[in-house]
Amino acid sequence: MASKFLQLYGYDLLLGSIAAFYVFMVPYTKVEESFNIQVRNKFGHQVEAFFVIFTAIQFHLLFYCSRALPNILAMGVVNLAYGHWLKGNFYTALNYLVFATTIFRCDIVLLLCPLGLEFLLTKSISFWRALKCCTVTTLLCIGFTVLVDSIMWKRFLWPEFEVFWFNSVLNRSSEWGTHSIQWYFTSALPRSLLAAYPLFMLGVLLDRRLLPLVLPALSFVVLYSKLPHKELRFIISSVPIFNLSAAVAASRIYNNRKKSFWKFLNLIMLGLLLISLGCTIITFMASYENYPSGHALKELHQIGHLANKSNELWVHIDPFSAMNGISRFCENEWPWRYSKEEEIALEEFGQRNFTYLINEHRTIDGYKCLFYVNGFSRLRRQSGFPPIILDKEPKVYIHGNIKNEELMLKPWPGCS
């Protein structure tokens, strides 16, 4: 069973772990001012170890680290800013945040402002020097991003300004869905931090050094909560600071584990870590089964070739399939051709000359269902081992054009 688990899910676990190692650890081994090294220098090796443990058992952090999203690119820069902050290089930390704001994610300004205000109130920086420093960095970054993106998009463009205008000025982000104002604290952070969620709050109470570190990150989440459209990735740059606070609490509990009350806390902490690990393994398994369209296209490439190789094989990919595992990286060369044309009515497909359809619908006029691919449906408890299993159901159907005689003569698994 263990070998089967590794065969099915080991690649995803490895990919997420390598990606997280790259985002969090690779800069740390080379840059003295990096976050990981400064955690070690300021709080000790044991806190660093717990910090790594919390990071390694958080599924959502590992998942997003394997995605080349602007939020994740920004998080790498923000981590460098955190490192300079812990070392006392306050102006450099501000410059990194300015860089991340202007080039990768404009919403990092919601972290930049509370952090800059804290620096001013603690007299860590001079207002005029900080203004001059950040203004120069901002102008250089704007010039760079406008130059590069205008060439790539073939029009004058500052991408993050357009994002800011759409989300904040026009307040149109709600068109993509909304959540309640407390959603980050009642759903997103508990799911992403897992065991670190209660421990980071305990850490603030146990070590007075943590409040100045946690407060800007907490303010970042509070300010972001006012935006109606909410996603976990928007606030993911706050997770490393919360993990640091949790790591300090875990270290304190572990060091005092032989005392009666702390022994009880240590048992609770160990239980939380095991539960977090279990949740991460289960969500990795569910995630692996959550991209049926990619598996469908891969199988189609393997069994869908026809004898007449001079004809193109046109594959239409519907929006559902495009959002559940198919990207340009899945595509093959000649004779395969792909269409992601949207808003085609089901009855219209019979009039089109597609060879195959990858679609969420089981029956389509003019096409025969050749095979289907299961996807994740829900978690189900059972009395045996393992206590929780994944239920799967047909999610994606592959159809063939009935006008293609050679295609109809091939043996297919079928959809019954």
Q: Which of 289, 314, 330 is the last residue of a domain?
A: 289
Query: Distance (Å, rounded) from C-alpha 189 to C-alpha 191?
Result: 5
Q: Which of 289, 321, 337 is the last residue of a domain?
A: 289
85 or 377, which is more confident?
Answer: 85
pLDDT for the residue numbered 177: 84
Same domain, 271 and 308: no
Same domain, 285 and 297: no
- Is the pLDDT at 201 greater than 80? The verdict is yes
- Is the pLDDT at 26 greater than 80? The verdict is no
- Is the pLDDT at 24 greater than 70? The verdict is no
**Residue 213: other Cβ atoms inside 10 A:** 23
31-55 average pLDDT score? 89
pTM of the model: 0.84
57-76 average pLDDT score? 91
pLDDT in tens, 81-116: 999 999 999 999 999 999 999 999 999 999 999 999
Beta carbons within 8 Å of 106's beta carbon, 6+ residues apart: 160, 161, 163, 164
Same domain, 87 and 132: yes
Q: With pLDDT > 70 as the criterion, what percentage of the chain qualifies?
A: 92
- Is the pLDDT at 10 greater than 50? The verdict is no
1 pLDDT band, cuts 50/70/90, is very low
Same domain, 66 and 41: yes
- Give SS3 for 80: helix
Same domain, 154 and 302: no
Inter-residue contact 379 to 282 (CB < 8 Å) = yes
Same domain, 218 and 300: no
Beta carbons within 8 Å of 65's beta carbon, 6+ residues apart: 16, 19, 20, 22, 23, 24, 72
- Is the pLDDT at 191 greater than 90? The verdict is yes
Same domain, 282 and 320: no
- Give SS3 for 375: strand
pLDDT in tens, 268-301: 999 999 999 999 998 988 888 889 999 999 999 9
Inter-residue contact 326 to 297 (CB < 8 Å) = yes
pLDDT for the residue numbered 95: 95
Q: Within a domain: residue 12?
A: no
Instruction: State the sign of the Cα–Cα–Cα–Cα dihedral 60, 63, 69, 75.
Output: positive
DSSP state of 107: G
Q: How many domains does the chain have?
A: 2
Q: What are phi and psi of 341, to 5 degrees?
A: -60, 130
Same domain, 190 and 308: no
Residue in the structure block whose two tokens are 């159809």: 399
Query: Distance (Å, rounded) from C-alpha 276 to C-alpha 126?
Result: 43
Same domain, 259 and 201: yes
Q: Within a domain: residue 16?
A: no
26-46 average pLDDT score? 75
Same domain, 70 and 134: yes
66: Cα separation from own chain's centroid? 7
Same domain, 341 and 227: no
Give me the CATH number covering residue 364: 3.40.190
Q: Within a domain: residue 273?
A: yes
Q: Within a domain: residue 416?
A: no
CA atoms in the 13 A half-sphere facing the CB of 270:
8
Same domain, 316 and 265: no
Query: Distance (Å, rounded) from C-alpha 21 to C-alpha 62?
Result: 9
Q: Is the peptide bond before 335 cis (omega within 30 degrees of 0)?
A: yes
Residue span of the structural domain in which 57 resides: 24-289
33 pLDDT band, cuts 50/70/90, is low
129-157 average pLDDT score? 94
- Is the pLDDT at 161 greater than 60? The verdict is yes
148-175 average pLDDT score? 88
Inter-residue contact 338 to 302 (CB < 8 Å) = no
Q: Within a domain: residue 3?
A: no
379 pLDDT band, cuts 50/70/90, is confident
pLDDT for the residue numbered 31: 52
- Is the pLDDT at 195 greater than 80? The verdict is yes
- DSSP letters of 296-351? HHHHHHHH---S-TTS-EEEEE-HHHHTTT--GGG---TTEEEE------GGGGGG
Q: Which of 250, 266, 289 is the last residue of a domain?
A: 289
399-404 average pLDDT score? 91
179-201 average pLDDT score? 95
Q: Within a domain: residue 158?
A: yes
Q: DSSP 3-state helix, strand, coil percentages of the chain (rounded to 5)?
A: 65, 10, 25
Q: Within a domain: residue 249?
A: yes
Give the H/E segment covering residue 356: strand 356-359
Query: Distance (Å, rounded) from C-alpha 146 to C-alpha 152?
Result: 10
Q: Within a domain: residue 65?
A: yes
128-144 average pLDDT score? 95
